[in-house]
Chains A and B, each alone.
Chain A
């Protein structure tokens, strides 16, 4: 089943980032079946960005901004923390951070699954366009700002102004929400939403270990969808 072997290792202590990303972009055929390992990322920005093939990349350490940016098809696992814009504009595939993520994790993501084992900072899922994001810890303020579609699932708490100016993204939070942003409201958690949430949690490897009934659902009140002067104070 798992044909990922042997390792194909890039040590960023003695290999340039350019060589790594170029190799990832050129990977086809047999190289897809290998487990790509990246050593000593040391907070380097733009690690494993723009992959467009079903590779599995494991990064041993902390990464800087935009790790796995615009990812398509690949699985990128970060054994560390991630900086700003983790998996920004991801199209498909899977990105998993074992540690915490900084601001704007999953920003503008179109698809795929982003799992953050720790906490995510402000603006997690900002302007999300179809991505699913599961945060096992908490998220900071303005998360899912202008979220268009996809799901943001938070097992911990959410900061101020959750879902501000939300479009059609679905938000599920198990803990507390400090405040809701403009046009974001709590919505009834019906059975179909529990089924949906269970599916997403299962995909994130949390099958059966989390009670979906403990979550509250938030979404757009859709009152700001068309500009009207009576709503001016809400903008």
Chain B
């Protein structure tokens, strides 16, 4: 035994900078020479709705009785110019996800679930499928740079048109549907050969900038006889200016997607390092609408990390008219379900962490075009699960609104909120809990 045997040893200590995940990524990059591609939104911890609390009613505020007094949840979208605005029973909508990224069964399930609770679902890159149109009472048709599957017949079948400028997971980025997910049907809808990677451009082919967008919106309105609400979707990056420009270009509705919002496939470095958390983007967007006198006239839909009725209520309190969910909707359908743990393990991951959606091997049968895997998802049962989940979110948002004394979820306001952190207080523009301090209020955007 040496003289040093009784000296306490320094336990192994990982670097906060070079943590195990960072080390693993360096080794992976060194071994492959290529960046990591994955699905989903940012996984890093960012200021979020969890950092906000509602104050509720007490002496100075008058609550509503939870099971007796009405608390409205109806939302009307597209009242600015469209002849046929959309009326939804809940402010929770389903975000755009493509047939191609998702199976036809998953798209059908989204439509079924949304329709059951009276809300809308949205197509994605790749066009509109009959299953989706057939099962979706209210369907928003995305108008994307690739224009895969875009045609005037489906455009006229849509209930609204969403011009996609960007998405929160990758503002400034296009997309890629890798060849292994390009089945005969997906290939045919996109006018491309089977099995090749299908790139989705990052810019629209026939317009550039807000002045052109105004002309593009006019064209789409003329083609559809000014009937349909036209949304403009942007990824959260410069929300004050982007929303102002979308309004100037003539949008009926603006959709703002934070960096927690998912993508079917993008570089991890892009997902984790470009764009803003949704919490930081809502107030500048609302400010832009207010400065233009268009708040509540041009409706604002926000998305990116919405998980519960509390998140819905907080987004609405900050000034949104509605929210959209993508990742949470997939989880409700069955994505990342622990029942498939053995298969997730075989793919080198675990239930809850599976994000290689681009590879088309999803054990839950959602982010795949493999007919055997896709058949695992029963669109009726999955749609029912989604409907349940949407109902719960709506009930939760109502519960909070009533507690704050609001007869409609749209009556929630920033005054109902406080923040738990200085960062969240600054981003959401609400006081730090227990203080009257709103950091950053003296500056501009």
- A residues with a Cβ closer than 8 A to B are 17-18, 21-22, 25, 45-46, 49-50, 52, 64-66, 69-70, 72, 84-85, 88-89, 91, 103-104, 107-108, 110, 123, 126-127, 129-130, 145-146, 148-149, 165, 167-168, 225-227, 229, 232
Closest-CB distance, B153 to chain A (whole angstroms): 8
**Known interface pairs A22-B225, A65-B215, A89-B147; A50-B201 also in contact (CB < 8 Å):** no
**Known interface pairs A52-B152, A66-B215; A168-B223 also in contact (CB < 8 Å):** no
Closest-CB distance, B356 to chain A (whole angstroms): 15
Set of chain A residues within 8 Å of B238, measured between Cβ atoms: none
B226 an interface residue at 8 Å Cβ cutoff?
Answer: yes
Within 8 A of A (CB), among B204-229: 205-207, 212, 215-216, 218-219, 222-226
Set of chain B residues within 8 Å of A50, measured between Cβ atoms: 152, 222-224
Set of chain B residues within 8 Å of A227, measured between Cβ atoms: 176, 178, 197
Closest-CB distance, B312 to chain A (whole angstroms): 36
Closest-CB distance, A32 to chain B (whole angstroms): 17
B33 an interface residue at 8 Å Cβ cutoff?
Answer: yes
In Å, the complex CA distance between A229 and B37 comes to 12
Query: Which secondary structure dominates where chain A touches chain B?
Result: loop
B196 an interface residue at 8 Å Cβ cutoff?
Answer: yes
The residue of chain B having its C-beta at the shortest distance from the C-beta of A25 within the complex is B225
B212 touches A110 (CB 8 A): no
In Å, the complex CA distance between A49 and B212 comes to 16
B216 touches A225 (CB 8 A): no
Can you list 8 A-B contacts (CB < 8 A)?
A21-B223, A46-B223, A49-B219, A84-B215, A85-B206, A107-B205, A108-B147, A229-B32
Set of chain B residues within 8 Å of A89, measured between Cβ atoms: 147, 150-152
Q: How many A-B residue pairs have CB under 8 A?
A: 110
B192 touches A168 (CB 8 A): yes
Q: How many residues of chain B are within 8 Å of chain A by beta carbon?
A: 35
Closest-CB distance, B176 to chain A (whole angstroms): 7
B34 an interface residue at 8 Å Cβ cutoff?
Answer: yes
B193 touches A64 (CB 8 A): no
A129 touches B191 (CB 8 A): yes
B197 touches A226 (CB 8 A): yes
**B223 in complex: contacting residue of A45, A49, A110, A129, CB < 8 Å:** A49
In Å, the complex CA distance between A69 and B143 comes to 14
- B residues with a Cβ closer than 8 A to A are 32-34, 146-147, 150-153, 155, 176, 178-179, 190-193, 195-197, 199, 201, 205-207, 212, 215-216, 218-219, 222-226
**Known interface pairs A50-B222, A91-B151; A226-B196 also in contact (CB < 8 Å):** yes
Closest-CB distance, A133 to chain B (whole angstroms): 14
In Å, the complex CA distance between A165 and B192 comes to 13
**B205 in complex: contacting residue of A18, A104, A168, A225, CB < 8 Å:** A104
B215 touches A72 (CB 8 A): no
A146 touches B199 (CB 8 A): yes
**A-B pairs with lowest CB-CB distance, top 5:** A50-B223, A85-B206, A225-B196, A104-B206, A108-B147
Set of chain B residues within 8 Å of A108, measured between Cβ atoms: 147, 150, 205-206
Which of B146, B155, B199, B205 has the most A CB atoms < 10 Å from its CB?
B205
B206 touches A66 (CB 8 A): yes
In Å, the complex CA distance between A70 and B141 comes to 15
B199 touches A66 (CB 8 A): no
Set of chain A residues within 8 Å of B216, measured between Cβ atoms: 65-66, 85
B222 touches A21 (CB 8 A): yes
**A64 in complex: contacting residue of B155, B190, B196, B215, CB < 8 Å:** B215
Set of chain A residues within 8 Å of B207, measured between Cβ atoms: 65, 84-85
Set of chain B residues within 8 Å of A146, measured between Cβ atoms: 199, 201
A167 touches B206 (CB 8 A): no
**Known interface pairs A46-B219, A91-B152, A148-B192; A84-B205 also in contact (CB < 8 Å):** no
Set of chain B residues within 8 Å of A226, measured between Cβ atoms: 178-179, 195-197
A45 touches B215 (CB 8 A): yes
B196 touches A127 (CB 8 A): no
A65 touches B212 (CB 8 A): yes
Set of chain B residues within 8 Å of A126, measured between Cβ atoms: 205-206
